[in-house]
Amino acid sequence: MILRIDRLQTELPPPSDPDPDGAAAVQELMGGRFGELSTLMNYTFQSFNFRGRQGARPFYDLIANIAAEEYGHIELVAATINTMLTGASDSPNGDGSLEAALSGVKSARNAQQFLAGGQGALPQDSNGRPWNGDYVFSSGDLVEDLTHNFFLETGARNNKLKVYEMAPHPAARALTGYLLCRGGVHQVAYARAIEKLTGADLTKMFPTPRIPTEKIPECRPHIERGDHKRLYRFSPQDYKEIVAVFNGPHPETGEELEVVDEAPEGALPNDLPPQPAVFAPDYAPEEIGEIAARLRSSAGLPKEPTGRVANEGTGLVDKVKEKLT
């Protein structure tokens, strides 16, 4: 089971110019065959289906623990897409009528981000097709599952690099810069696991694709902080045997790989402003605000929300609202 923490693994910028076609491209990192839903679900199912786990504990722990990190990745991709779509619809007219508030996105590549979703992320790829369970490989054969995972991370790195090139929006850049760094760690982890089991030295294949991670400016801060060589343990008590696999030199830099015995601190998410044209969270969100305040008060909660967001007090929501009207 899991505990959930209401923070993102890295900081994302607040909404700026909306970029619907960029957001449609970022969907590949969500619901594509090599998207974060795939990494999450592959490692999750592999850990669920792991037989004889006591006898192979370091490998079980490795897969289970990386699965936990991946949850934070789908969260980041979703936050990025939402950020890029903020402001893409018009606000309703002064008289409250809807009018043609979505006609500006009539030719946007992924119409369902608006029609099915509320200017938000969908479990779809960059061609608007849903993620599906056929993308999960969980054969039970440990060497084979690890081989798959190494290949999956390679494909994921390819896709992140290309989305980086396709969507220069600040949120997409912050996302891909971070994911390239962290995905690289997983690629190393699986290579190392295969080496431990078979002797085959896959680290010679790094970087693959052959562009060094450090050439990506948005990766550099993460590399400088050391995040390219660290595996975090995403659990209060468990998965302690990852150290038995994740060690030795980093294939690109030669630095010693490290296990960090807790989750990263992360960053507060932005509270993205309502988009009334798509009824998110409502056509008239103020009413919900009033009800929520009343409920909070009846329950003896403080007047202000107890949850924290990055942009509280900064008036970001109001500023974005203002800009869009």
Q: How far apart are the first and last CA of the chain?
A: 44
Show contacts with a second copy in window 16-45 (CB under 8 A): 21-22, 24-25, 28, 31-33, 37, 41, 44-45
Rounded to whole angstroms, what are the CA distances from 122 to 8, 114, 131, 223, 274? 18, 10, 9, 30, 17
* 254 belongs to the binding site for a second copy (CB under 8 A): no
Residue 163 as a binder of a second copy (CB under 8 A): the answer is yes
Residue 141 or 255: the one with the smaller Cβ distance to a second copy is 141
Instruction: Determine phi and psi for 260, rounding to 5 degrees.
Output: -100, 130
Task: State in angstroms the smallest separation of the CB of 292 from a second copy.
Answer: 5
Q: Is 178 in the site for a second copy (CB under 8 A)?
A: no
Q: If we measure between CA atoms, which residue out of 97, 106, 217, 88 comes closest to residue 165?
A: 217
Maximum separation of any 2 CA atoms in the chain, in Å: 70
Question: Using the rule CB under 8 A, is 261 a contact of a second copy?
Answer: no
Do 250 and 221 touch, CB atoms closer than 8 A?
A: no
Measured from the CB atom, is 237 or 254 closer to a second copy? 237
* Residue 121 binds a second copy (CB under 8 A): yes
Give CA separation, 196 vs 53, 75, 203, 248, in Å: 16, 32, 12, 11
- CB nearer to a second copy: give 60 or 188: 60
Kindly tell me which residue out of 14, 84, 88, 150 binds a second copy, with binding defined by CB under 8 A.
150
86 HSE (CA, 13 A, CB side): 28
Q: Is residue 89 at the binding interface for a second copy, with CB under 8 A as the rule?
A: yes
What residues numbered 206-235 form the site for a second copy, per CB under 8 A?
208-211, 215-217, 234-235
Kindly tell me which residue out of 249, 253, 255, 281 binds a second copy, with binding defined by CB under 8 A.
Answer: 281
